[in-house]
Amino acid sequence: MCDCYWFEYLHHMERNAAACAMEWSIELEKALRSKKPGRAVEAILQIGSRLQQWSREPEPNIAVYNMFDLVTWEDRLFSNTILLRLADAFKSDDKHIRVAVVKVFLSELNSRDRTKSKQYQGVLSKARVQNHHELLTRVKVVLGGGDPEARALALILLGCWAHFAEGSAQIRYMILSSMLSSHISEVKASIFAAACISQLADDFAQVFLAILVNIMTSTTSLAIKMAGARVFAKLGCSHSMAKTAYKAGLELASNSSEEDFLVAMLFSLSKLASKSVFISSEQVKFLCSFLSDKKSARVQETSLRCLRFIFMKGECLFTNMESVVRILVDALDEPMLTTTSHCDVLRLLRKIIFYVRPNPSFLDANEYSKLVKAVESAAQSRVMLTSLHAVRLLVDLSLQLSGKMEVESGVSSFSLLPEQVISLIMDQITSLLVDLSQLNSEVFQEIKGLLNLLLLIVREHSDLWSFLLEKICFTVELIMNMHEGVFDRQQIDMDVEGDKKNDISLRFAFILYGFMAICVGHLGQVVGITSEIFDKVKLLVKSVCEGVLFSSHSLLLNCKFILSCRITEDFRSCNNDGFPRFTFCEKLTENEIFTLQCAKKLLKNGDEWPAYKAGRHAACHGSWFAATLIFGHLSSKVRSGFFEHWLKSLFQFALAERKIQLLLLPQYGSGLINWLEQETILNLFSTEEQIKHHHAGSISEGIYYDKLLEAYQCLCSSGEALKSSVDTPVQAFCFQRWFLSLRAKMLGTIGSIVKLLLNVPYSTNDTAAIHETVEEFSKLSLTFERLSHEFDLIGTTFIGMDTENLNVISALALNCSLLAFCTGFAFRVPNLATSLLTENVDDFRTLRSVLIRNLIGRLWSVDRETSKQLTELFNATGGPNNCLHLLLRNKILDMGYEVRGISTLCRYAVSEVIRSQSKSNGMDEGTVLRVMEDGMQFLSNILMQWISIPFRVPKCFFCVRPCIGSELYATTDARKLDGISIPFGFHLSLNLCLQLKNIPPNTSVRITRMYCILYCGLSFQEPKHNEQKQQAYEAWEDDDIVEMQNKLLHYVTESSKNEACISQGKTSSSCRTERVVQAFVKFEPNEKGQGFSNCLLDVSRFPVGSYRIKWYSCCVDSEGCFWSLLPLSPGPLFTVHQLPSAG
């Protein structure tokens, strides 16, 4: 790497606080000396945010000092210098500067995590402040001779410095003495300072509490009492101290008649009580007394808020929970309470009944009857929030208590069945739609909330789906008849999100569409769509949307119906030979034509944006005819950089998948074929020659290979269209290009299998040729096995991917694993030489063991019975015993239509392999041709039915944004501008910085650890001045990405098991093989996602030359989830040079 390029590359690395310390110190010094009015205050406030950043960053290690060319402890020197300059500024007589300094340290104090105050390691911690005596001396000058306001500011500053001030006896005395001052501001400030120190020192807290109680009982100043009340929450340094402080505070609150003081004490005591389950029980009893005694509305509302805080914070050991429930039920009928308080009551009831006391028998039937009646009454409230909380509680009660109370209590009169709650919810929806003039966004939001509650019920009681659909159909018909003049059969073709967004009929239809789409999707995963349910759904769609809503949402719903209904009972039926018979294709003609007509209607009306969304939905649900039609039309309309390339790529992608679906046209029936041949829009279908005459015979027919080749070429064109988009950030299309690459590899490998099937030598007795053919199939099975891991990798690389997208990708990984298994086990030739080597696997036994292990790991959560059969097959295969340790990654969480189809094929494939194995054991080499013919037929059948399972793209494919990845920076000496260079025969010591990039600001994933693997070999040699042009989106093309990410995963897993040992040892580990040297490195990221470490590579045997180090990285979030990180920068280049001779 050339000198200027390397120097510029390192300057792209973000500088942390340690690297900026000297610059910040100089800037502050200049500003404080400036004569410009207000400049000093501005600089002080600016340094405040920098100190907060500094405190949040971990202390720098040796790698940080080396990367930024810093002297060890240089950052501490400058941080102490900055603190000393702020203290000097505070000592001045300028009031504005003093206030600014106090604001800086108050902000730093508020930014800390108070629950971990004892573990605070920021810039104001005792270990990092070396000159604390000088700092305290400057503040004591102000505290001893200033005016009351200045002394108050000095006390607040001492409170902020409690971590290094609490050890000074003189400071403690000065703070406690100030509590007896005659100035209110000084007393309040001293209370604050004393409370801060009390969080750290138990002995000081006891003295402070005694003085505080004495002041609060003797003073008449409400301001001082309020200040004292607020600090009781900080007096929990130890359990005994918390208990003592709680008792003192409880007595003060009980004897007070001032409402403001009482409210403040209730909050503080509740926070203090939440730290101990024993104290919290007393506090619950105390708070309930204010509800039962009918205190003022404000006090009751405060009590409810405090109760909710205690129960939400943790478990409470209060024994008489029945009385709490009784008091809360009475509070529901209290008219003085606000809506927020009523919602707090309902939340509390739900928390107590289902989490604190999950056993239903802790209340008798009469109490439950009163509870249900009160909640039902609250459900009728006109306030949306109260109603939703009440209905949610009824839903939970119906799910957990249905049929239990009669048995346990012997009282048969009380019951709360899920059917009753469904009827109640539908009645509420009807009542909301009675007066259309009152409908607004809040009402529609409430309807959505009620529909979501219905989903909770039917997901637990799958037998109620039919009942729910009946209720919905009845409600829709009732509303349509009620407002016949509004819900007329108007011929409107528009999107719900268009100009007529407030149109009542469209908004109501849209809500129902979304709800039914979710219902159908869930049914397709769990119980399947019966003909009864499907007929009711069709009736509902017809009653609401006929002539009203032809938009992207209708297309979405139709696609969901089509794909979900494909999994019917006959999906799992079999022919006489045991092969699964998928007969659903014949039922799709009408729906497919309807989908295409909807798409054509959108395009004719010029609704480009709704049409794009329709195409997106079609692709996500496998309707590739419609997707091709839409994206082809849109791509012809756009001529701008980004959108042109994006739509061109989508069109090529859809065209590729449509070519695959064209192979199924004879199964669709003549109706769709005739429609396609007559359709002339964009001439998208007229290019397909003689599609009517394609017959669904054997996959070994030439037409299948031709179509697979065409589809592969279209996918490559789709990826090239994205690659050529120069107007888009480099990392914007990472997911899309990677996904297209994997899909192209899948179809390309299938094409290779089909081509090989066309040339299988089943008519010759040439054993060598047969063995060569079997070896080719074995290599293709390894290709599929690797693809399954690549799909795993794409699922773990894009951080924050939701469950729905992960399920789609996991299903594709299962696809590849199944095809790998079938390809590897199709030809069980008797007495095949076990020494027949493959590219990456030692022998056939190991190969087949790997294939079985891979399939078991993915199928275990889907089909346990088939997985057990695979385990038996594994034992019979005789693979290594240590190969069957299963690591279930990307576990499939639901049983959607793709997974059901694949699992059906898996059951058939495994049973066939087991049957053929027992059959081939009795054969000799003379019957090898029969084995080859059976294998060909088996593999052809598998591929034919695999093509029949619809392929759909994950929704995240349409989210175009830079992917979260990492950049690696490496140096040996930051002062060298000529890159990395070492003499021959030496080890390479690297200082490393791993930087996360493209992290969204609103992400919920918090990275806690990062890991990296660096490796280099003799074959990695490059010219010295070769500026690598590798782009981030090409990283997945490396052949070793799967192997290296698996090594990283293994290292992270082992590191987690031995965390204690690792934390005491080195931050990196390395190993050396004959071909490559590698090192593992661990990083602790700061808030910017930047981590520093170092490693040592043994390159002592590398000859003179320049070598590129390859690297991959991963991370672990706060939930313990493992994520791979895409490399967004090239690996470092180092040079081995010869030392000059002594002569």
Q: Retrieve residue 780's tokens.
A: 């293709």
Residue 612 lies in a domain: no
737-794 tens-digit pLDDT: 999 999 999 999 999 999 988 877 656 566 777 778 888 888 999 999 999 999 999 9
| Domain final position from 963, 983, 998 | 963
931 & 845 share domain: yes
For residues 1073 and 956, state if they share a domain.
no
- Buried-state track 288-308, b at ≥16 Cβ within 10 A, e below 16: bebbeeebeeebbbbbbbbbb
Write the CATH number for 1110: 2.60.40
- The top-scoring range by mean pLDDT among 308-322, 1047-1061, 1128-1142 is 1128-1142
Query: Would residue 641 count as lying in a domain?
Result: no
Q: What is the count of structural domains for the chain?
A: 2
Residues 6+ apart with CB under 8 A from 401: 360, 368, 416
Residues 1073 and 1083 in one domain: yes
Q: For residue 724, how far is the Cα from the chain centroid? A: 30
Q: Is beta strand 1122-1127 parallel, antiparallel or unpaired with respect to 1110-1117?
A: antiparallel
- Quote the strand ranges of 915-1022, DSSP E: 965-971, 980-983, 988-997, 1007-1017, 1021-1022
Rounded Cα distance, 973 and 988, in Å: 12
SS3 at position 905: helix
Q: 923 pLDDT exceeds 90?
A: no
Do residues 279 and 246 make contact, with C-beta atoms less than 8 angstroms apart? yes
Tell whether the model's pLDDT for residue 1092 goes beyond 50: yes
Clarify whether residues 813 and 913 are in a common domain: yes
Helices (H), 255-296: 259-273, 277-292
Cβ contact 994:968 at 8 Å: yes
The answer to whether residues 955 and 1056 belong to one domain is no
Whole-number Å distance between alpha carbons of 364 and 115: 40
Distance CA 699, CA 702 (A): 8
**Could you count the other beta carbons within 10 Å of the beta carbon of residue 270?**
25
Tell me the three state secondary structure of residue 1022. Answer: strand
Whether 922 and 974 map to the same domain: the answer is no
| Domain contains 191 | no
Q: Are 962 and 732 in contact (CB under 8 A)?
A: yes
User: Has residue 834 been placed in a domain?
Assistant: yes
pLDDT of 226 above 90: yes
| 804 in the same domain as 839 | yes
Structure token digits, residue 164: 């290094």
Q: What pLDDT band is residue 437 in, cutting at 50, 70 and 90? A: low
Q: Please tell me whether residues 968 and 957 are part of one structural domain.
A: no
Q: Is the separation of the CB atoms in 122 and 128 below 8 Å? A: yes
If one compares 590 and 1046, the residue with the highest pLDDT of the two is 1046
Domain that holds residue 1001: 964-1137
Region of residue 73 (phi > 0: left; psi between -120 and 50: alpha; otherwise: beta) = left
Q: Is the pLDDT of residue 562 over 50?
A: no
Reported as a single tens digit per residue, the pLDDT across 488-505 is 443 333 343 443 434 555
d(CA 979, CA 964): 27
- The stretch 588-613 carries a mean pLDDT of 74
Does residue 580 sit in helix, strand or coil? strand
- For residue 977, the 8-state DSSP code is S
Same domain, 860 and 896: yes
Q: Please give the angle made by the CA atoms of 918, 923 and 924, to the nearest 5 degrees.
A: 145
Task: Write a three-state SS string for 80-112.
Answer: HHHHHHHHHHHHCCCHHHHHHHHHHHHHHHHCC
In Å, what is the CA distance from 964 to each residue of 794, 800, 956, 1035, 1083? 12, 10, 14, 13, 17
Instruction: Tell me whether residue 699 is in a domain.
Output: no
Q: Tell me what percent of the residues of the chain surpass a pLDDT of 70.
A: 73
Question: Does residue 681 have a pLDDT over 50?
Answer: no
pLDDT of res. 466: 77
Q: What is the pTM of this model?
A: 0.82
The CA distances from residue 812 to 742, 820, 949, in Å, are: 10, 12, 11
Half-sphere exposure of 110 (CA within 13 A, CB side): 9
336: pLDDT strictly greater than 80: yes
Last residue of a domain, one of 963, 981, 1013: 963
